[in-house]
């Protein structure tokens, strides 16, 4: 029997990480935010706005 049930999980709260870009050497900041139910992954580059 193959189960089609998909368990969803998200993070409990927003978290940010700072570091140095591997190829650019510039400071970078990455923020993870909790997702709403039935939502996939979304990546947004804010440096292009």
Q: Give the pTM.
A: 0.59
pLDDT level of residue 1 (50, 70, 90 thresholds): low
CA distance 4 to 11: 23
The token pair that represents 9 in the structure block = 């999980």
Tell which wins on pLDDT, 39 or 24: 24
Tens of pLDDT, residue by residue over 6-16, are 787 888 999 99
CA distance 47 to 44: 9
Please list the residues that pair with 47 across neighbouring strands. none
Q: What count of other Cβ atoms lies within 10 Å of the Cβ of residue 35?
A: 14
**Domain range summary for the chain, segments of one domain joined by +:** 1-49
Q: Is the pLDDT of residue 20 over 90?
A: yes
CA distance 24 to 26: 5
């Amino acid at each position: 029997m193959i189960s089609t049930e998909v368990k969803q999980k998200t993070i409990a709260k927003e978290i940010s990480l700072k570091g140095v870009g591997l190829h650019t050497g510039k400071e970078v900041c990455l923020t993870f935010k909790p997702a709403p139910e039935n939502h996939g992954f979304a990546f947004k580059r804010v440096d292009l706005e």
